[in-house]
Amino acid sequence: MVILYCKLGRVSDADRWLSAMLSRGFLVDNATCSLILNVFCENGCVNRALWIFHRMIEMGLDPNVINFSCLINGLSSRGSIKQAFEMLEEMVRRGLKPNMYTHTALIDGLCKKGWTDKAFRLFLKLVRSDNYKPNVHTYTAMISGYCKEERLNRAEMLLVKMQEQGLVPNLNTYTTLIDGHAKVGDFDRAYELMETMGREGLTANTYTYNAVIDGLCKKGRVKEAYKLLKRSYKNGLCADKVTYTILISESCKQGDIKQAFALVNKMIKKGIEPDMYTYTTLISSLSRQKKMRECERILSDATNVGLNPTTRTYTSMISGYCQDCKIDKAMKMFHKMQDNGCAPDSFTYGALISGLCKESMLDEARALFEEMMDKGLSPCEVTRMTIAYEFCKKDDFLTAMALLDRLEKKLCVRTVSTLVRKLCSEQKVEMAVQFFDKLLDVDKTVDHVTLAAFMTACYDSNNYALVSDISERMTKEKGVSVT
């Protein structure tokens, strides 16, 4: 029963039967254990997979390389690289040698994390090893890492290297490279790779076409994208959820909501149910146009079919309400978001703080800013400047200063410098000098643009004494420099 539910992807049912087994003291064999761990990890239940693994060890299971590799792959896929390497260390302590699958999982995880150079160092160890030579999947993982960083020359170099080693690139290898070239706008090379695939007996699939269609849309070559889509139809392929989402997103960016809805309807008629990302794309576009009734209807449609709004969904709704001067509805949506267990991020807080500042509700904005900082979220430049400047407009620079004091040094310096320049441009020199002093206290270094703006404002307002005082302070204080 456990194996059946695992093969069906019904993790909760598999977990229920497995828990019943374990409670009775029954133990599965290594092969079944690997299947369970792999399915749980693929479905995002990595923590549960770890618990099952350690529970089985306690009951007497002697784990093998495949058991460990399944968990390492699961941890790497979700970005838990430190835990993955800790699992590798435990594996080695037990006298087990990692295989190529193990190393490939680690390389893939490092690349997904953006640590491509670290991945390449591990890759080189395999290349120089006598026992473990990189296979097609290892090369593909490394190529994918370089493509994500737009280091296409390195990716192409690896393609040549793997062919020199007698390895034949597979469909995933080519699709990864095609996606990389499409993202940077090199469609000539993308098309060339598609032709190469054909010559080698490989047929481009929907993922391959989606990669190029997405790149074309993002580079504004929409007509060409639709032309390529028709070509995929002729090759016997059908547009999938990703294809439609790409086209819907592009229609929304162009402000063609009518076309976006037409695509959604076509998608549904084809038997493809839109996911939350599709609905959120529509909400995001409509909210920018302040069409909040339509947004509310779409959100209702999504929840009615059992979809759960994401942080981006709620943030788009909150931002739209704030732009439409409906701050009460924005606050209700913010609380609803938290009640539904969806954690707001820095963009959510930023949108609401900006909306509150717009309505001069500074006490509420300040409370949210402090709540955001308490949660360890870093406000963006716009949020930092908006709330600080609004308090300055109320001649409450002390509160503005207190809020900026909570920022890490680098962000504080950047925000204070921008604030000084803005205040100087509005000839609010007396207030600007307070923040200029703060700048010297925090960093003791003033960039040339901020210094020039401050000095110019002082001269224009005949505040020569301020210029003299600041110059004297910068001269006396050791370590203070003008860059």
| Per-residue pLDDT tens over the stretch 130-160 | 777 889 999 999 999 999 999 999 999 999 9
| Per-residue pLDDT tens over the stretch 339-373 | 888 889 999 999 999 999 999 999 999 999 999 99
Which single residue is written with the structure tokens 């994390």? Answer: 113
Per-residue pLDDT band at 477 (split at 50, 70, 90): low
The closest of 103, 259, 269 to 281, measured between CA atoms, is 259
Q: What is the mean pLDDT of residues 34-52?
A: 86
Separation of CA 214 from chain center: 18
> Strand, coil or helix: what is 481?
strand
Average pLDDT taken over every residue of the chain: 88
pLDDT over threshold 80, residue 479 = no
Q: Contact, 419 vs 389, CB < 8 A?
A: yes
pLDDT over threshold 80, residue 475 = no
| Per-residue pLDDT tens over the stretch 64-77 | 898 899 899 888 88
pLDDT over threshold 70, residue 169 = yes
Per-residue pLDDT band at 444 (split at 50, 70, 90): low
Q: Is pTM beyond 0.95 here?
A: no
pLDDT over threshold 80, residue 473 = no
Q: How far apart are CA 453 and CA 421, in angstroms?
A: 6
pLDDT of 482 reads: 45
> Strand, coil or helix: what is 45?
coil
Bridge partners of residue 481, in order along the sequence: 445
Which segment of 188-202, 246-260, 302-316, 435-449 scores lowest on mean pLDDT?
435-449
| DSSP per-residue string spanning 222-263 | HHHHHHHHHHHHHTT----HHHHHHHHHHHHHTT-HHHHHHH
Share of the chain above pLDDT 90, in %: 39
Q: How far apart are CA 298 and CA 292, in angstroms?
A: 10
* Widest CA span in the chain: 87
The encoded tokens of residue 417 equal 């410098």
Bridge partners of residue 445, in order along the sequence: 481
> Strand, coil or helix: what is 25?
coil
Which single residue is written with the structure tokens 């539910």? Answer: 5
Q: What is the mean pLDDT of residues 119-126?
A: 90
| Per-residue pLDDT tens over the stretch 389-418 | 999 888 888 898 888 888 888 888 888 888
